[in-house]
Amino acid sequence: MKKFKYFLYFFLFLATLLLVGLYIVPGGKITYKQDFSKKYFNILGGRGFFYKMGPVERLIDKNKMIGDPLYFYVRAPRSFSQAIMTIKYRFSSNDLIKTNYTNIETGVLLDKNNWNYNLYPVFNNKLNEIFSTWPLIKNEEVVLAQQNKKFSKLSDFVEHNDFSTSVFYNYNLNYNYILPNYQAKTNETLNISNLQGSYSFYTYIKDENLKVDFSFLNKNNKNNQALSIFVYYQNNLIFDESLKPDIFSLDSPVNFNLNLSNLPEGVYKVEVKASDDFLTPSLISHNSKLVFINRVWFYDLKNGFTLWSNRNNFKIKSFSAQCLNKISINEENFIIDEIYKQFDFSSTIQNDLNKITSKSCGLLIENNALFSLTPESFFNPVLNKLNEDTDLNSIDTIVANYREPLKEGDYYVSEIKMDLSSALRDDSGYRFIISAPFLKNLNPEEYLEIKEIKIEFVGKTLMEKIKEIIKKNDE
């Protein structure tokens, strides 16, 4: 009888120790796995680590994705620096990958204010095709694919500095873009008014200061988030400033003058990170070249707007009934007649520079594109990226940081290494995204079945953490 009693209490003690160990993860590594194809309920098992997979209207049979994107959370008891995700999936039919540009990405949430995700490639049918037909040069994770072999090393390609017929995928090349025949116009300014929320833009300088005068307004006195300004040169942060919420009062704009001197000639990226409650009533650039990256959101405009972009198709949304209006892209008219609905408009005409005009008082215009307010201020420092419009016959080189998925029967298996050092972890854990833009019609016949996801979290061991605390205390 006593033996039975001791056995039970010893078992409970062991179970408690094991659970605490699984929470602290003393070895710094832990793997969570979920088979989403299992339909039965494990009566003894807990609720697991993967949850809130959805939105539910984009899923059928709990694991077949019919809409884009899909989100899920993974409970993580502590912070980790890296996640190695292994995802097993298959397509509803092979025609889906043969007829469409099939690009699947996954990522982790970095910032809840802007819903900013760090995305990593999972599957790309164009790259899979290229990898099986073109000669490849592999340099660790990076692959250089050439239609006609010209370079024997990746470094040779990077140094030759002409990327007009090259395409990049998930690879950031640090190169110095030079605008030929550029001359600074010191007496001219670019005035941009009534921008809402976050935005980022490229500007070009040569023998001049990087000078932008901002005026910011906080329209919500309950907003307690800071507004941050970052400046990058060749992907390196060279300036950052945070404007705390207590300096903002309603109806009185806060002025901020960005003025950086002694900078080398080149492209600079300026990023304004702010919640949607922040407005920029006025932005005056003293540099003549300025292009917004991927999105422009106007509010309270009196005479509408004109934009110029390198793309002819956009996602457009109105947040106010008063601003419902028509928009013209290359003189083709489109109607925005619903608020909060995202319209996909595409002009049949593709110019080098496409004109977008509207009399609307405010719209959010998005695409993987660049936008300028005048044709003169437009420039394109962005390297060609692999996308659905890429014509493989017109390019000769592709540089991709991409690993081809393995094939297991009908299923594909991809392994993705993610950096979690800047990922957001809250009470719910880490929030992940699976992006499959080819699934846009919510058609139950076309789906991506996610069979299994395994995530190995890697972080500091208990000993490393203790040593770090001791070191901090000593300092």
Partner 1 sequence: MMNKIIKYNYILFYWLSLAIILFFVLEIIFPGLVLAYFNVNILVFLWLINLLVFIFKKKN
Binding site for partner 1 (CB under 8 A): 1, 4-5, 8-9, 12, 16, 19-20, 22-23, 42-49, 75, 77, 427
Beta carbon of residue 49, minimum distance to partner 1 (angstroms, whole number): 6
Q: Name, in order, each residue with C-beta under 8 angstroms of 72's C-beta and a sequence gap of 6 or more.
A: 50, 51, 52, 53, 54, 431, 432, 434, 453
DSSP 320: -
- Token pair for residue 351? 């110019």
- In degrees, to the nearest 5, what angle opens at C-alpha 94 toward C-alphas 91 and 97? 80
Bridge-based pairing of strands 166-169 and 397-401 is parallel
Beta carbon of residue 158, minimum distance to partner 1 (angstroms, whole number): 46
DSSP 404: P
- Token pair for residue 316? 């457009």
Contact 310, 370 (CB under 8 A): yes
The nearer residue to partner 1, 1 or 56, going by C-beta atoms, is: 1
Nearest to 434 by CA among 103, 136, 28, 189: 103
Residue 353: Cβ within 10 Å count: 14
Beta carbon of residue 131, minimum distance to partner 1 (angstroms, whole number): 39
The nearer residue to partner 1, 1 or 250, going by C-beta atoms, is: 1
Mapped onto helix, strand or coil, the DSSP state of residue 395 is: coil
The nearer residue to partner 1, 20 or 247, going by C-beta atoms, is: 20
E strand or H helix at 11, and its extent? Answer: helix 2-24
The nearer residue to partner 1, 292 or 432, going by C-beta atoms, is: 432
Nearest to 115 by CA among 198, 46, 3: 198
Beta carbon of residue 109, minimum distance to partner 1 (angstroms, whole number): 18
The nearer residue to partner 1, 117 or 457, going by C-beta atoms, is: 457
Residue for token digits 């309920």?
41
Q: Which residues pair with 50 in a beta bridge?
A: 74
The nearer residue to partner 1, 19 or 178, going by C-beta atoms, is: 19
Q: What is the CA radius of gyration of the chain?
A: 26
- Token pair for residue 236? 């390196």
The nearer residue to partner 1, 28 or 77, going by C-beta atoms, is: 77
CA dist 147 and 120 (Å) reads 25
Contact 383, 163 (CB under 8 A): yes
CA dist 137 and 50 (Å) reads 38
Q: Name, in order, each residue with C-beta under 8 angstroms of 119's C-beta and a sequence gap of 6 or more.
A: 105, 106, 107, 433, 435
Give the CA distances from residue 5 to residues 15, 16, 335, in Å, rounded to whole numbers and listed in that order: 15, 17, 76
The nearer residue to partner 1, 73 or 101, going by C-beta atoms, is: 73
The nearer residue to partner 1, 16 or 422, going by C-beta atoms, is: 16
Beta carbon of residue 300, minimum distance to partner 1 (angstroms, whole number): 44
Beta carbon of residue 18, minimum distance to partner 1 (angstroms, whole number): 9
The nearer residue to partner 1, 11 or 115, going by C-beta atoms, is: 11
| DSSP output for 190-207 | EEEEEEES-EEEEEEESS
Beta carbon of residue 417, minimum distance to partner 1 (angstroms, whole number): 24
The nearer residue to partner 1, 43 or 250, going by C-beta atoms, is: 43
- Token pair for residue 248? 């903002």
Beta carbon of residue 8, minimum distance to partner 1 (angstroms, whole number): 5
Beta carbon of residue 13, minimum distance to partner 1 (angstroms, whole number): 9
The nearer residue to partner 1, 41 or 340, going by C-beta atoms, is: 41
Contact 395, 356 (CB under 8 A): no
For residues 80-107, one letter each, b for 16 or more C-beta atoms within 10 angstroms of the residue's C-beta and e for the rest, the string is: beebebbbbbbbbeeebbeebebbbbbb
Beta carbon of residue 50, minimum distance to partner 1 (angstroms, whole number): 10
